[in-house]
Amino acid sequence: MFTEHLWPGMEKWLLVTVLGLEMVVGVVGNSLVLLVKVMCRGQFCCRYWFPFISLTLSDLGCSVLIISGSMLAILTGGQRSPWCEVVSLLKFAFITSSIGSIAVLCVQRLIGMAFRGSALFVVMVTACLVSWVTGAVFGSIPVVYAWIRYDPAEMLCAVFWEGSYSDMSVYILCAFSICIFLPFLLVFGCLVLSATGCGSSGNSDEEADLSEVAPLLVASYTICYTPFVVSELILLGRMDLSPAPDWLRTLSSVMSYLDCGLNPLIYCTHQSFREAGLALLWTKRKPMSEPVLTAVIKH
């Protein structure tokens, strides 16, 4: 059972500060990324733009809705219905859509330009949308069965188990197998094949593409979501349905939020994308056009 407690003053304001920084970086960074991707598409090479857009929207939504909700929960002492259920549903949808978008990106890099076409584009768009829908479906199951309760350690509403161990184990195994482990295995397989020279991602004409940051995106996602996965596995291994330690659940929330702000920084490691962003931010607008002599009339 989750421990009901209020954060002490120092820990409370430390967490509020950390979450505030993560929210600002996530909102500003992902908003700028969307602007660069939309307004400066001709200034950098991005052959596989849809999974990038999907991932950025997921990070932006998490920064605006989930992180801000956690900050308010710390300050007010909890979350109330129906926002409590909405936050729980959206967080799982954002987690699933993020790894799903990265998996689509890795598959597109492996397939390469030789297989690019309208049919493949439709398939990849459908795959990204399926990851969103799948996350929403698995996130809505605890809401329908009233398994949602505010967890002070996670700083948001989460799944609370007080029923049978079999229900909990079936849900966690199905949700993680379909939404996280399967896409992660696909990502890992694509990266291994790319590293061994299979596919088209190793060609020289691909090196300038924005998709070359995919391994960094995978590494960031893996590191940031490891505490979340570990905490769920600990719950799965305890027959008495007792959750993971409070500090681990708090760390899992802070680290998962951190991933939303790291992704824009990862995009900026790509030189062409970084230059396009700097040009958008710092290049002054052209002044009003000066009068141009178009004709000379002799009197």
Inside any domain, residue 299: no
Close Cβ partners of 2 (under 8 Å, ≥ 6 residues apart): 149, 151, 152, 153, 160, 243
SS (H, E, C) 8-39: CHHHHHHHHHHHHHHHHHHHHHHHHHHHHHHH
pLDDT at residue 252 is higher than 80: yes
Which secondary structure element, helix H or strand E, spans residue 156, and what is its range?
strand 156-159
Q: How confident is the model at residue 1 (pLDDT cuts 50, 70, 90)?
A: very low
Task: Tell me, yes or no, whether 96 lies in a domain.
Answer: yes
- pLDDT band of residue 242 (cuts 50, 70, 90) is confident
Note whether residue 162 is domain-resident: yes
Looking at residue 11, its pLDDT comes to 83
CATH number at residue 237: 1.20.1070.10
220 pLDDT above the threshold of 90: yes
Residue 139 belongs to a domain:
yes
Dihedral sign of CA atoms 12, 15, 20, 21 in order? positive
For the cut 90, the answer to whether the pLDDT of residue 289 exceeds it is no
Note down the domain range covering 36. 9-271
Q: Between 23 and 114, name the one with better pLDDT.
A: 23
The amino acid present at 233, given as its one-letter code, is L
Per DSSP, the three-state class of 40 is coil
With a cut of 70, say whether residue 286 has pLDDT above it.
no
Q: What is the mean pLDDT of residues 57-66?
A: 94
* Position 291 in a domain: no
Asked if the structure places residue 220 within a domain, the reply is: yes
Task: Give the lowest-confidence range in 87-101, 160-174, 252-266, 275-289.
Answer: 275-289
Inside any domain, residue 102: yes
Q: Give the H or E element holding residue 157.
A: strand 156-159
Q: Mean pLDDT over residues 4-16, rounded?
A: 75
* pTM reported for the whole predicted model: 0.85
Domains identified in the chain, total number: 1
Q: Tokens 């790509």 belong to which residue?
A: 270
- Rounded CA separation 20/11 (Å): 14
Q: Is the pLDDT of residue 296 over 70?
A: no
| Amino acid letter, residue 235 | L
Alpha helix positions (H), the chain? 9-39, 49-61, 68-76, 83-111, 118-144, 165-176, 182-195, 214-236, 246-267, 271-282
206 assigned to some structural domain: yes
| 272: pLDDT strictly greater than 80 | yes
